[in-house]
Structure 1
């Protein structure tokens, strides 16, 4: 613990620090949402089928989910600013490769590299605020980070859809470059370095590698319908569990799952975020391939989801802090499922105001009721000193669920070769969304059964400020120790 006085938020340095973290996290979140909108144009340009589009999303999610916990550990040990900057530079390099891709194989390889970079910069965003801003202003700083992150999520589909129409799908990747240059310059000049002196001296590299192999095998097996690979992935996950139980410095401390609430919240997370992964993969394709929407129109069509979450997530989180997460975590998925039932009407000659907007509004309302209480339940289930690793595990669970859903659903829906046949894809859309409805209902049942109606108030005073309104994954909370300067 150092006696170095940290800058206040009102100071120039404090504002620069918050700017760097907002831009850094926004680059990754914007890229994740906008790529979905570009999928039809990517498929047409690179002459790929649904499997190629699955890998365009899953190449990124695979490495992000596998290495995000390792990225947080690297920052604590080697320096949070250093690893954050490494991640930003690598993300920019990978973005250039994505934009220059001449084949789907090159694009997927670049997306894999993007995921590794994202795993380095995503955990560092909030960690930099908590270690670099005076403790009296951290709640306000994290609130700014969350609010502007939500705003970026709302603007992303609009900006991305417009860019795709005006400059082509490659522009959404090249746009990352000037943003990342600004982040690097600001971080190197204004953000102080910090480390955690209590961080493990060794990293759980074997665990990270085994879980990456496991998720890779599962993804390959599900996309290409190869049962042997699926079984291999499951066995490798079992090996990962054994490694974590025996490791002196595990990526995923088994002790976390000694909490019933933590275990239940992560089971709900898996079911709900698997549904979200499927919905946002299929809905944008359905709007463009079947309903005839442009990329801009399909992007704008889903903006109300983010806007509703931006307005209602914090009140929902505060309500859950007082009354417990049981009711919102049960009702939220059911409301979202009702929204998806309405979205089953999306098809040829779709009218936005009657066929799309009602479903989007109800779906967004359900997510708003659910997401903040879910985050609060995760953070409140563990001691405050373990909030960072607990939220990191929850984020990894959400990303893994989305990864597996995007890998499995096209095959289950029978649309693996459906890009050129709108009618066949439309039938597959109904099947896939119906499966997503089932996943949401499963999440509601899990919450109803496993989360008794008791108060599980989060132990972090600033938990409301940790809620970034994004559907790509829950925010990773900052570490508990906030003043460990080196």
Structure 2
């Protein structure tokens, strides 16, 4: 038997256990790798799925406006999108397990701060820190799996990871709904603590360290700073536009500055000897195609998840517990199909599922948009369920093949960077989708609501109070000062204004999904190879 190299500098004088277990999907270490990475990834997935259901309760408790609600989401997404690439590079250089553990610690500490928030501003600040922890945490999971399992078994391993993380995520909306309905929305953040403890224990005790050979010795903090500032500028511009107008100097300056800084980021990355975003990695058509697909599809997914949750709770009148259960068919379909679609990639390649999947997802968005103002949960089976089922089938065909394509298009030493880029693509897409589509939503809702009440003969003071309420978006209610004879009509007007806005957003989401399918057909090769 060959002795391990105890002087190997890549392992700090320890056995390179990752090499020993490589290819052995059923070994004890392989199972621990999947267990630990599933727990770590689930923290991020549960965080978002749980929060979406709890947002209405959180908004009411803190008195957040529609714009502030968007920042509670995007404060986290901005940081994770900006620093994911740094997180992947740090993992390749210093050790994926070390960086993953550090990310879990930061993420969990920020989760505690989120749960203790008593103002919207403090919560947004804590979410920013949480995003930094997530940026260190998210890339490591897939990079560790890629370093452990060989290409011929990687699809099955990633499919198992996808299915398992989805199964854990199904608890998110259910738990979030129960907690929000009981007035315990703060525990949406506190539930990360026990998961973090279990993940850290598994990582420290059972998961081998792995480092990307040839990883850069320098970290591109300049690139990370430019990426962050550019996204902040663009997001602030679009999120503030409904309140100030696109002609406002603050909005114009933010959008222009964001665009200039984005161009500067690309220039710096092109010239840097240690870029955060290595443009050379995009020479792979399949890698480029997979990330473009991710950008459009996951941007649509971010908007869909947020606005559907607000719709069914604030407009359709679902209790939070029932709202959490609305997504169960989607999650079960995704969980049930992910491992199968991973095996399909191993046998047939990724192009077919990456064209068919997003096409079906787009149909699901379109069907969901057809639902108008319903009679509540009793109408769920004929209004929202059909679109959610179609959406689930499409995502079940897409998730594992997409992830496998990304990780199989690069060499193992770039696994952390590739994972970071793909995750960053989805997060950047989410930031921009929520900012841009959030801006469209706020403007559309404001115009539709005020247009519907414009013909009502209301006192000027009452009309002013209504205009203030409209800024709350889905949480807008009829002020107590409204005369009784107008109450029902105004309530219906506000709800129909939201439904009109939601339908417009679903049409946009469908178009984005179909664009992603077209990109897969054009760019993804039948059998991606590293390069």
Fold conserved between structures, TM > 0.5:
yes
Does residue 1:336 correspond to 2:361, yes or no?
yes
Q: Is the 8 A contact 1:70 1:208 kept in 2?
A: yes
Deviations 1:121-177 (A, max 9, x none): 112224445667999998876665443212112222222222222352111111112
Matches within 5 A, 1:100-179: 100-129=116-145, 144-166=160-182, 168-179=184-195
1:384 Cα shift?
5.0
Change (3 A) 1:122 1:46: same
Which residue in 2 is equivalent to 1:468?
none
Does residue 1:390 correspond to 2:463, yes or no?
no
Q: Is the 8 A contact 1:50 1:415 kept in 2?
A: no
1:186 Cα shift?
4.0
Q: Structure 2: how far apart are the matches of 1:430 and 1:364?
A: 19
1:369 Cα shift?
2.5
Select the residue among 457, 464, 467 that pairs with 2:527.
457
Matches within 5 A, 1:233-252: 233-252=258-277
Which residue in 2 is equivalent to 1:89?
105
Change (3 A) 1:258 1:21: closer
Q: Structure 1: how far apart are the matches of 2:294 and 2:132?
A: 22
Change (3 A) 1:75 1:389: closer
Deviations 1:356-391 (A, max 9, x none): 111111111122223333334434444455444233
Select the residue among 71, 75, 99 that pairs with 2:91.
75
Does residue 1:312 correspond to 2:337, yes or no?
yes
SS of equivalent to 1:161: helix
Does residue 1:430 correspond to 2:430, yes or no?
no
Deviations 1:170-206 (A, max 9, x none): 1111111222233334434444544445321111111
* Structure of larger gyration radius: 2
1:13 Cα shift?
6.4
Q: Which runs of 5+ in 1 are unaligned?
A: 461-479, 481-486
Select the residue among 56, 63, 76 that pairs with 1:60.
76
Q: Structure 2: how far apart are the matches of 1:77 and 1:385?
A: 10
Q: Is the 8 A contact 2:338 2:396 kept in 1?
A: yes
Q: Is the 8 A contact 1:80 1:124 kept in 2?
A: yes
Does residue 1:348 correspond to 2:374, yes or no?
yes
TM-score, structure 2 normalization: 0.79
Change (3 A) 1:120 1:311: same
TM-score, structure 1 normalization: 0.86
Deviations 1:293-313 (A, max 9, x none): 112211211121121122223
Q: Structure 2: how far apart are the matches of 1:271 and 1:282?
A: 17
Change (3 A) 1:433 1:10: closer
Q: Which runs of 5+ in 2 are unaligned?
A: 7-14, 242-250, 447-470, 477-493
Q: Structure 2: how far apart are the matches of 1:89 and 1:437?
A: 38
Number of aligned positions between the proteins: 458
